[in-house]
Amino acid sequence: MSELTPAQQLRYSAQLLLPEMDESQQLRLLYSKVLIIGLGGLGSVVASYLAGAGVGHLLLADDDRVSLSNLPRQLLYSSAGVGQLKVDAATARLQAQNPELVITPLAARLSLSDLLALLPEVNLVLDCTDNASSRLAINQACFLRQVPLISGAASGWRGQLLALQPWLGQGCYQCLYPDWQDSPSCLQSGILGPLVGMVACQQALLALKHLLQIGDVSFGRLYCFDGLHGQSSQLKLQQEPACPICAAGDS
């Protein structure tokens, strides 16, 4: 594929009007391969926007099944899909949304070795998981394979977003949370759909800007949002000299 078909020009016409976009930029998206890990409130919204924008190959990883309590915020799923594997329900829905994409469902919780095997073939990883052990494994694999990582999290009224290229000395997730334990999940601390949707939309926006190499992706900065009071803050991540992940081997 060296140029857009008339149908693609029509499908993507609104985003092609942006001054930063042109046919070669759209082709860049169509040739991109992105791994989305976790298909809950974050991942289902992120996947939908990336599929809509024409990211050509999406790998979707989640070992969970759709439950009734997911439906207020996990917009890819329907009541009829309760009990289905999330990767299967999501693949069917996204394929219907944009049939020209390649979507690879991975019904598994990816281990560090799974990630290390997968990452050399992907351009970007989106961490949409909800537990510390997955986040730290994803962080380590992205550091070792030098694949950019955009991580989102939401719990209670708080959301946060972090884009990382930890091999560039910007610090990593482990630097931010050196003694991290699992924090309460959505079901323990509560969550309102639009809060997690806001984080997911920002995650998708950063992903598209990174793939297109436009604008500011804020690598190495932690963005925090308080949805109850409408306040946000940013801080620059610092590499921990003793970090066992990203500082190892530094002289």
Q: Report how far residue 81's alpha carbon sits from residue 85's, in angstroms, rounded to the nearest whole number.
A: 9
Give CA 132 to chain center in angstroms.
15
Binders of Zn ion in range 132-151 (CB under 5 A): none
Binders of Zn ion in range 187-246 (CB under 5 A): 243, 245-246
Q: How far is the CB of 172 from Zn ion (least distance, A)?
A: 3
Residue 89 engages Zn ion in binding (rule: CB under 5 A) = no
Q: How far is the CB of 147 from Zn ion (least distance, A)?
A: 15
Select the residue interacting with Zn ion from 76, 110, 138, 175 (CB under 5 A).
Answer: 175
The neighbour count for residue 161, using CB atoms within 10 Å, is 25
E strand or H helix at 162: strand 158-164
Select the residue interacting with Zn ion from 89, 101, 172, 208 (CB under 5 A).
Answer: 172
Q: How far is the CB of 219 from Zn ion (least distance, A)?
A: 14
Select the residue interacting with Zn ion from 174, 196, 223, 227 (CB under 5 A).
Answer: 174
Give CA 228 to chain center in angstroms.
24
Q: Which residues contact 1 (CB under 8 A, 6 or more apart)?
A: 27, 30, 31
The residue ranges that bind Zn ion (CB under 5 A) are 172, 174-175, 243, 245-246
